[in-house]
Amino acid sequence: MEKVLVSSCLLGSPVRYDGQSQNLLHPGLESLKQQKRLVSFCPEVAGGLPIPRPPAEIKEDRVLTKDAEDVTAEFIAGAEQALKICQKHKIRFALLKESSPSCGRNTIYDGSHTGHKVIGMGLTARLLQSNNIEVFSEEQLPALFAALAEN
Ligand code: SF4
């Protein structure tokens, strides 16, 4: 059965920049969890960033904290590890947290650190999608379940 890579914070792990989680409660997700089909992963922690950590946003081709610290290398390392995990487990679907500079599927913050979002993808979402792994956000659960049902 198909496995799904899932942002760790959506599964209740307190790995976000602020040390919190973003636990996503849904019976369909719980069912996948009980079937051991979810692979939990946080690219920013895997890339070597601490918890908590300063929030970061994508600005042009770099990822910068509010204090302009360049954390692009850590974000890229996390994205590459996410891809490796998917390849190792033959994962073709991912459920990632919307608007994160790593995991955002459809929107990201605009790089100004003023709370404004723009259309775009986080680094991990972008790398997975470009390697034929279909990425869904927590706002697209019905589409994820439909894709899993077809496979
Ligand atoms: Fe969640 Fe992704 Fe941010 Fe990690 S990098 S805390 S998994 S949104």
Distance between Cα 106 and ligand 1 center (Å): 15
Rounded Cα–Cα distance for residues 132 and 122 (Å): 16
Nearest CA to ligand 1 atom 1: 9
For 105-132, the DSSP string reads SSEEE-SSSSS-EEE---HHHHHHHHTT
Give the other-Cβ count within 10 Å of 45's Cβ.
Answer: 20
Q: Which atom of ligand 1 is nearest to the CA of 44?
A: 5
DSSP alpha helix (H) spans, 57-107: 72-89
Rounded Cα–Cα distance for residues 132 and 128 (Å): 7
> Is the distance from the beta carbon of residue 102 to the nearest atom of ligand 1 less than 6 Å?
yes
Regions of the chain short of the pLDDT cut 70: none
Rounded Cα–Cα distance for residues 44 and 15 (Å): 9
Per-residue confidence (pLDDT) for residue 106, from 0 to 100: 98
> Directed axis angle between helix 123-130 and helix 72-89, to 10°?
40
pLDDT tens sequence across 3-43:
999 999 999 999 999 999 999 999 999 999 999 999 999 99
> Directed axis angle between helix 27-34 and helix 141-150, to 10°?
40
> Is the distance from the beta carbon of residue 3 to the nearest atom of ligand 1 less than 6 Å?
no
Looking at every residue in the chain, the average pLDDT score rounds to 97
Q: Which of these, 78, 73, 121, 114, lies nearest to 97 by C-alpha position?
A: 121
Q: Which atom of ligand 1 is nearest to the CA of 97?
A: 8
Residue spans of the domains in the chain: they are 4-54+75-97+121-150
Model-level pTM? 0.98
Rounded Cα–Cα distance for residues 124 and 105 (Å): 9
Nearest CA to ligand 1 atom 3: 16
Per-residue confidence (pLDDT) for residue 22, from 0 to 100: 96
Per-residue confidence (pLDDT) for residue 151, from 0 to 100: 83
Per-residue confidence (pLDDT) for residue 115, from 0 to 100: 98
Rounded Cα–Cα distance for residues 34 and 18 (Å): 28
Nearest CA to ligand 1 atom 4: 42
Per-residue confidence (pLDDT) for residue 20, from 0 to 100: 98
Per-residue confidence (pLDDT) for residue 94, from 0 to 100: 98
Q: Which atom of ligand 1 is nearest to the CA of 43?
A: 5
